[in-house]
Structure 1
Amino acid sequence: MKEFIEYILQFGNLNQQQLDLISKKATERVLHKDEYFSEAGKIAQEVGFILEGIIRVCYYNNKGEEITKYFIDENNLVVDLESFDNDICSNAYVQAITDCKMLVFSKKDWKDLLDIIIPWEAIVNKIISRALRQKIERRSPLVSEDATTRYLMFLKIYPNVVNRIPLSYIASYLGITQSSLSRIRKNIH
């Protein structure tokens, strides 16, 4: 819980009573490797915070190929925001790549916090806007670069992830085949 409290306090101030209430609403959960936190075709019902582990967000394109959109590692929130906020079916899967230890808030508890703790909404909005900025920064440069440059950028963006996840997911994220990724890695190292 300490990690989550430190994380949210970067975005605004809360008093001890407010922090205690937030702590009471969180449940700790282990999400095992390959389990889903939320799934396409369902409405996201929870917000998570990763204490340990890595999660990926992926979808299937019209050819049925699995595409990894991005990775989320320790000390970050996990939620399919559009689905969660608007009660609409998600178009993505949020899946544990490693065993993950998380704090989880149900939709009801998250909404209760928004109603009860006045500064909570401003804090959440700052967290969301930072996450969206990161997502754009992490994604846009990858599109126009060649595969080797994309891989080198991936290493910069996700330094704590590369040796902990399957190469197939990295290749999918970079939009290249696994054999291309193996060649690139061999040429670099």
Structure 2
Amino acid sequence: MKALIDYILRFGNLNQQQIELISSKTRVLTIPKDEYFSEAGKISREVGFIVEGIMRVCYYNNKGEEITKYFIEENNLVVDLESFDNEICSSAYVQAITDCKLIVFSRKDWLELLHTIVGWDTIVYKIISRALGQKVERRSPLVSEDAKTRYLKFLEIYPNVVNRIPLSYIASYLGITQSSLSRIRKNIR
């Protein structure tokens, strides 16, 4: 719980009573490797904070190929925001790619915090803004670079992830084949 509270306090101030209220609205959830936190075609009803593990957001393109959009590691919130906020079916999957331990808020409890804690909406806004900024910052350089440069940038962006996840997911994220990724990795060692 301390990791979650420390994370939240980076974006705003809370008193002890507010922290206790937030803590009372959570539950711990473990998700085994390869299981889903949320799924395409379903409405996302929880916000999670990753205490341990790595998750990925992925979807299937019109050819039926699985595409990894991005990875989410420890000490970050995870939610399909569009689905959660608008109560619409998700178009993506959020999958555990290692065994994961999360601190989870239900939608009902999350909304109750928004209505109860003065300034909670501002904290949430700052967290979302940071996450969206990171997403753009992480994806933008990958769009126009060659495969080797994209991989080197990936290592920079996700230094704690590369040895913990399957190469197929990294290749999908980089938009290259797994054999191309293996060649690149071999050539830069």
Matched, 1:186 2:163: no
Aligned-partner SS, 2:48: strand
Q: 1:138-177, aligned counterparts within 5 Å?
A: 138-177=138-177
Distance (whole Å) between structure 2 residues aligned to residue 101 and residue 43 of structure 1: 21
CA displacement at 1:34 relative to structure 2 = 0.5
Q: 1:28-47, aligned counterparts within 5 Å?
A: 28-47=28-47
Task: Tell me the residue number matched to 1:58.
Answer: 58
Distance (whole Å) between structure 1 residues aligned to residue 56 and residue 165 of structure 2: 10
Q: 1:90-105, aligned counterparts within 5 Å?
A: 90-105=90-105
Task: Tell me the residue number matched to 2:135.
Answer: 135
Structure 1: state its 5+ residue gaps: none
Aligned-partner SS, 1:162: coil
- Structure 2 length normalisation: TM-score? 1.00
Task: Tell me the residue number matched to 2:76.
Answer: 76
Distance (whole Å) between structure 2 residues aligned to residue 103 and residue 65 of structure 1: 31
Aligned length: 189
Structure 2: state its 5+ residue gaps: none
Matched, 1:21 2:6: no
CA displacement at 1:119 relative to structure 2 = 1.1
CA displacement at 1:118 relative to structure 2 = 1.1
- Structure 1 length normalisation: TM-score? 1.00
> Could you list the per-position Cα deviations for residues 22-62 of structure 1 after superposition, in whole angstroms to 9, with x for gaps in the alignment?
00001011110001000000110000000000000000000
CA displacement at 1:116 relative to structure 2 = 0.4
Write out the 4+ residue segments of structure 1 that deviate beyond 3 Å after TM superposition.
Answer: none
**Percent of aligned pairs with the same amino acid:** 79
CA displacement at 1:153 relative to structure 2 = 0.2
Distance (whole Å) between structure 2 residues aligned to residue 59 and residue 118 of structure 1: 36
Distance (whole Å) between structure 1 residues aligned to residue 102 and residue 83 of structure 2: 20
What is the aligned-residue RMSD (CA, Å)?
0.3
> Could you list the per-position Cα deviations for residues 74-132 of structure 1 after superposition, in whole angstroms to 9, with x for gaps in the alignment?
00000000000001110000000000010000000000000100111100000000000
Distance (whole Å) between structure 2 residues aligned to residue 182 and residue 23 of structure 1: 44
Task: Tell me the residue number matched to 2:112.
Answer: 112
Aligned-partner SS, 2:163: helix
Matched, 1:2 2:2: yes
